[in-house]
Amino acid sequence: LPIVVKAFEMEIIPAKRIVAQIGEKLILTCSTTGCASPSFSWRTQMDNPLGGTVSNHGTYSTLTMDPVSIVNAHNYLCTVFCDKKEKKEKSITVELYSFPSDPIIEISPSLGAGEQVTVICKIPDVYPSDHLEVLLKKEEHVLSEKSFHADSSTNRETKIVKYSFNLTSEDVGKEITCVAKLPIANMDFEPKERVTSQKLNASFGPRNTVITASPSNSPMEGDPLKLTCVTESNPPPQIVWRKHLADESIQHLIENNVLSIPRAHFTDSGLYICEAVNLVTNKTEKATVEIVIQGAPSIAELSIEPSTTVQEGENVSIQCSAKSNPSPKIILRRKSDDADMGPYNEGRILLPSVTFLNGGDYECIAENKFGKSKNEITLNVKFPPQNITVLVYPSENVTEGENITITCSAYSNPPSQMVLRKVQQEKEILPSVNGTFILYNVTKNDTGRYLLGVFNEVGNNIKVIEITVVGRLRKPDQMLPLIIAFSSVTAIAVPVVAVLIYVSRKAKINGSYSLVKALRLRV
């Protein structure tokens, strides 16, 4: 069979003519058939710079212009050699335009109706501008028409159309429209018409400024509160929130038309001020609203002066305060007292020269129509030992060989310590924590006067016990009868008590003791 050989051919894509917008990417492709190893070259007909990048790919070659610019407005010629024998050429014309975006309308600020306003319409980056036509309208009324047919720009440019007129109150809100057209014959691109509209505005205000409170001017404590400042102003005003404080000072809050409080507290009550400022008209207007937070009482303070722990004889003040709206009824009383009886007071109790009888738990109750709140505090009154009772068993008078149990009780705060000492044996003591002392197998040597010291950090007291031990008929190794006598005095010299306290801290405390053994203790 005969071998069919394809003829050497070439083509260029796009063919003959291409319309491209400046700034975009453009690729020209030159390809061949019937040639195994073609050789490509690109040039402009006027031998200007290519303004692009050539890339060969076997049987085709590309010329890429990215971005395409005004220097690419040429006739491009692609030449192909096949085996250095055959040569073919084709050309393509690159035509450029630029109409990338809608017109931009700018309206100069006006202080209000009756003032002159200037409308500016800008058409960005137009090429060729000698085909540009611009129409400026107010609603359907034509303000200005302009064509740029005499323009000789050789590159893209921004073209401007201006129109000035006196603004009337009827003009406010009307629409200004700028229509830009680029009708170039025999150039296929879209769009060829671009339109922008903007409403006319006059500067005014602020006026009719008001504050709205949601949910109300008197929300419940814990609820969200939103204050909105509404005003009429053009351009929109700068909003500043302030609050009158209790000391008559002004607290700056935020610069926003909405003031939000996620959880309202009693301290959020007060007079709020919204200040609207128009920086163009240089005018300011204020609005105020009184906010009152309602809710059940919350006890703000429950305290004891000078301290929760005092000594008898001090002057004591117990105070309670609460926050709520409406104002709460406050009852301050001691819990152990009858609810319908004293002592109680609305917020304060004064206790001059306090006694141990005033100690205990005090409660503060604050109540209004929304509910009540309660808190407690303890008054601790320290006092020296009182109501001391001493019991001697089996008797004050015993026979030699018997055991004697001495039990002491006292009322004090803090709890008392107790020690027992025989007179004239100042360094020999018997301590006790629970107030019980046991004298085992007494002898006539145990006869004498004993001092029972009762003390705490506030004060002390001394009881005197007369013990007499008498002998009895017994074998030589038996003890004689012991007679014990007891008497009490109210106080004794401070050095004696000091010795008792010091020695008690040195002795080992176990609850019950043998005086005979304890007397062997040396400090």
Q: Sign of dihedral through CA atoms 458, 463, 464, 470?
A: negative
Q: How confident is the model at residue 232 (pLDDT cuts 50, 70, 90)?
A: confident
Per residue in 286-303, pLDDT tens?
Answer: 999 999 999 999 898 999
Predicted local distance difference test score (pLDDT) of residue 426: 67
Task: Let me know: does 366 contact 296? Beta carbons within 8 Å.
Answer: no
Predicted local distance difference test score (pLDDT) of residue 500: 39
Rounded CA Rg of the chain: 55
Q: How confident is the model at residue 264 (pLDDT cuts 50, 70, 90)?
A: very high
Round to whole Å and give the CA distance between 293 and 372. Answer: 16
Predicted local distance difference test score (pLDDT) of residue 109: 64
Per residue in 366-403, pLDDT tens?
Answer: 999 999 999 999 999 999 999 999 999 998 899 999 99
Element (H, E) at 282: none
Q: What angle do CA 405, 406, 407 make, to 5 degrees?
A: 115
Task: Let me know: does 509 contact 433? Beta carbons within 8 Å.
Answer: yes
Q: Strand 26-33 and strand 9-13: pairing?
A: antiparallel
CATH number of 295-382: 2.60.40.10
Answer whether CATH 2.60.40.10 is correct for domain 206-291: yes
Q: What are phi and psi of 424, to 5 degrees?
A: 70, 10
136 token code pair: 């400026």
Round to whole Å and give the CA distance between 194 and 2. Answer: 62
Give residue 472's identity as a one-letter amino acid code: R
Q: Which residues on adjacent β-strands are paired with residue 208?
A: none
Task: Using the predicted structure, report yes or no on whether residue 212 has a pLDDT greater than 60.
Answer: yes
Task: Let me know: does 431 contact 523? Beta carbons within 8 Å.
Answer: no
Domains 9-97 and 206-291 share a fold: yes
Answer whether CATH 2.60.40.10 is correct for domain 9-97: yes
Predicted local distance difference test score (pLDDT) of residue 69: 92
Round to whole Å and give the CA distance between 113 and 167. Answer: 5
CATH number of 104-202: 2.60.40.10
Of 44, 28, 39, the residue nearest 88 (C-alpha): 39
Per residue in 66-81, pLDDT tens?
Answer: 999 999 999 999 999 9
Predicted local distance difference test score (pLDDT) of residue 250: 76
How many CA atoms are closer than 13 Å to the CA of 321, on its beta-carbon side? 5
Could you tell me the fold of the domain covering 394-470?
Immunoglobulin-like (2.60.40)
Strands of 369-415 (E only): list them. Answer: 371-393, 397-399, 404-413
- Global pTM value: 0.47
Largest CA distance in the chain: 167
Q: How far is CA 327 from the centre of its chain?
A: 29
Q: What are phi and psi of 336, to 5 degrees?
A: -75, -15
Round to whole Å and give the CA distance between 385 and 344. Answer: 29
CB atoms within 10 A of CB 438: 17
Round to whole Å and give the CA distance between 281 and 283. Answer: 5
Of 79, 81, 103, 105, the residue nearest 90 (C-alpha): 79
Q: What proportions of the chain, in percent to the nearest 5, are helix, strand and coil?
A: 5, 55, 40
Q: Which residues on adjacent β-strands are paired with residue 288?
A: 273
pLDDT over 90 for what percent of the chain? 58
Predicted local distance difference test score (pLDDT) of residue 110: 59
Predicted local distance difference test score (pLDDT) of residue 337: 74
Domain range summary for the chain, segments of one domain joined by +: 9-97, 104-202, 206-291, 295-382, 394-470
DSSP string, 471-501: --S--TTSPPEE-------S---HHHHHHHH
Which comes out higher in pLDDT, residue 345 or 435? 435
Q: What are phi and psi of 149, to 5 degrees?
A: -65, -25
Does residue 444 sit in helix, strand or coil? Answer: helix
Q: Tell me, what DSSP letter sits at residue 263?
A: S
Q: Tell me, what DSSP letter sits at residue 14?
A: S
Would you mind telling me the total number of residues written for the chain in this entry? 523
Task: Let me know: does 30 contact 69? Beta carbons within 8 Å.
Answer: no
- For residues 327-346, one letter each, b for 16 or more C-beta atoms within 10 angstroms of the residue's C-beta and e for the rest, the string is ebebbbbbeeeeeeeeebee
> Is the bond leading into 394 cis (omega within 30 degrees of zero)?
yes
Which of these ranges, 94-108, 251-265, 315-329, has the smallest mean pLDDT?
Answer: 251-265
